[in-house]
């Protein structure tokens, strides 16, 4: 298996190429620009389409067009750009169009800064645009996963005809690590029963309007059933040192990397700390988290680079049987393992 040292942002583009992504439409924004730059370098080498759109709004609508024509298509951005894309994403979800969006989160709100944050959680995991819809959300925490989960995002997007996000932060996007490149995908789903290809047989309609109230309700119910199916089938988690853990930390993306270091340090000091990392944020590992209170856990600390967005979902999953504490850093600051251990010591007296 070929191995290459690369940034998370680049790994995502490698994953896209390997997954058979045919077109990239994007707009520059720090700290996601390497994705567009890398796509502009790599896509033409494989005869694939790269176009720098005039705006984030145009980029997501180009994605809508390409997806409507049955192409595997991708865009990438960061918080402010994702905010702009929300209308288009709602249309993609409403028209059941598969597409992949990479969000390299930065500090907000407003212009914020270009440091790493995780404050797009709500706008990506909860839908974000208007209407009842969900995005499939994968949260890589390494360059390797930026490649692998981008590939998985294409697969899931096609499987469920739904937008799929690769959601991570500036640290994972900018960090270089070794990436083992998987085999390129060689089989692709047949989309001729719905995609518009400019042929006699593919004179289909891509559409999200349902004027009749009952029709629109039924369409929403169908989407709801799809999200239930995704919830049932696609949850992914990583557990580290959970077997005998008395205290559990929960985090995703770059915070989960710090938490891994914190677990190692805690174990050296005899503290039975474990790490629970959701890899999918939608579907959220509700059942897995609900089981924690029965497993002899006496403290749960959610660590995120946002003011309590992930912890809300953790607490919903816990259904009041336990309440997760929260430790957060913001504004571009990444928590350190030492400060997390101090917080654990303060909260749980270890």
Partner 1 sequence: METFLLPWRSLRRSPSFTGCDMEKKTVLRKPKGFIDVYKHKPGAEKDRTHYCPGCGHGILHKLIAEALEDFDLVEKTIVISPVGCSVFAYYYFHTGNLQVAHGRAPAVASAVSRANPDSVVISYQGDGDLAAIGGNNIIQAANRGENMVVFFVNNAIYGMTGGQMAPTTLAGQKTTTTPYGRNVKTDGYPIQVCELINTFTAPVYVTRTSLHDMPNIRKTRTAVRKAIMNAKEKKGFSFVEVLSMCPSGWKKDSLQSQQWIKEDMIPRFPLDVFRDISEDAEAVERPVPVMDPEEVKKIFGYSDFKAGTIQKNPEANFEKVFLRVSGFGGQGIMSTGIALANVGMEYDYNVSWLPSYGPEMRGGTANCSVKIQEDMIGASEVTEPNIIIAMNQPSLEKFEKIMVPGGALIYNSTLIDIEPSRNDVDIYPVPITGIADELGDTRVQSMVSVGAFAAITGLFDPEEIVRLMPSLFEGKPDKVLRMNEEAVRRGHNYVTENFSV
The residue (of 215 and 228) whose beta carbon lies closer to partner 1 is 215
Cα 62 from Cα 53, distance rounded (Å): 8
**Footprint of partner 1 on 211-230 (CB under 8 A):** 211-212, 215
Under the criterion CB under 8 A, does residue 330 sit at the interface with partner 1?
no
# of chain residues touching partner 1 (CB under 8 A): 87
Instruction: Report yes or no: 16 and 27 within 8 Å, Cβ to Cβ.
Output: no
Under the criterion CB under 8 A, does residue 100 sit at the interface with partner 1?
no
Under the criterion CB under 8 A, does residue 336 sit at the interface with partner 1?
yes
Q: How many CB atoms lie within 10 A of CB 229?
A: 13
End-to-end CA distance of the chain: 44
Instruction: Report yes or no: 57 and 49 within 8 Å, Cβ to Cβ.
Output: no
**Footprint of partner 1 on 142-171 (CB under 8 A):** 170-171
Cα 157 from Cα 234, distance rounded (Å): 12
For partner 1, which residue of 9, 29, 36, 70 counts as binding (CB under 8 A)?
70
Under the criterion CB under 8 A, does residue 320 sit at the interface with partner 1?
no
The residue (of 76 and 283) whose beta carbon lies closer to partner 1 is 76
Under the criterion CB under 8 A, does residue 128 sit at the interface with partner 1?
no
The residue (of 112 and 283) whose beta carbon lies closer to partner 1 is 112
3-state SS, residue 237: strand
Query: Do you find a cis peptide bond into 109, omega within 30 degrees of 0?
Result: yes
Under the criterion CB under 8 A, does residue 267 sit at the interface with partner 1?
no
3-state SS, residue 234: coil
The residue (of 176 and 286) whose beta carbon lies closer to partner 1 is 176
The residue (of 35 and 171) whose beta carbon lies closer to partner 1 is 171
Under the criterion CB under 8 A, does residue 57 sit at the interface with partner 1?
yes
For partner 1, which residue of 110, 190, 193, 199 counts as binding (CB under 8 A)?
199
Under the criterion CB under 8 A, does residue 252 sit at the interface with partner 1?
no
Assigned token pair, 176: 């270089």
Angle in degrees, 0-180, between the axes of helices 143-160 and 8-18, rounded to the nearest 10: 40
């Amino acid at each position: 298996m070929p191995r290459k040292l690369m940034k998370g942002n680049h790994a995502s583009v490698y994953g896209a190429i390997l997954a058979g992504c045919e077109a990239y439409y994007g707009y520059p924004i720090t700290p996601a620009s390497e994705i567009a730059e890398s796509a502009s370098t790599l896509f033409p080498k494989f005869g694939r389409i790269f176009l720098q759109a005039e705006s984030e709004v145009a980029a997501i609508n180009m994605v809508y067009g390409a997806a409507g024509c049955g192409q595997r298509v991708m865009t990438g951005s960061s918080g402010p750009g994702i905010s702009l894309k929300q209308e288009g994403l709602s249309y993609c979800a409403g028209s059941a169009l598969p597409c992949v969006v990479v969000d390299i989160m930065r500090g907000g709100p407003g212009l914020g800064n270009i440091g790493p944050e995780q404050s797009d959680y709500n706008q990506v995991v909860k839908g974000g645009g208007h209407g009842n819809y969900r995005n499939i959300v994968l949260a890589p925490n390494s360059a390797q996963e930026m490649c692998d989960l981008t590939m998985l995002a294409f697969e899931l997007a096609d499987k469920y005809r739904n937008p799929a996000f690769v959601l991570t932060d500036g640290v994972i996007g900018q960090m270089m690590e070794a990436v083992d490149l998987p085999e390129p995908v060689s089989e692709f789903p047949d989309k001729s029963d719905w995609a518009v290809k400019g042929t006699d047989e593919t004179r289909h309609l891509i559409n999200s309007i349902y004027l009749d109230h009952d029709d629109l309700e039924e369409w929403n119910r169908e989407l709801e059933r799809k999200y239930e199916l995704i919830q049932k089938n696609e949850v992914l988690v990583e557990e580290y040192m959970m077997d005998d853990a008395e205290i559990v930390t929960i985090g995703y993306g770059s915070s989960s990397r710090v938490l891994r270091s914190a677990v190692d340090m805690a174990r050296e000091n005899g503290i039975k700390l474990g790490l629970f990392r959701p890899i999918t944020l939608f579907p959220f590992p509700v059942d897995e988290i609900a089981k924690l209170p029965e497993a002899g856990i006496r403290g749960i600390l959610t660590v995120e680079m946002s003011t309590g967005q992930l912890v809300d979902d953790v607490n919903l999953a816990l259904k009041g049987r336990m309440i997760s504490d929260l430790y957060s850093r913001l504004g571009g600051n990444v928590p350190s393992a030492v400060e997390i251990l101090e917080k654990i010591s303060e909260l749980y007296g270890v």
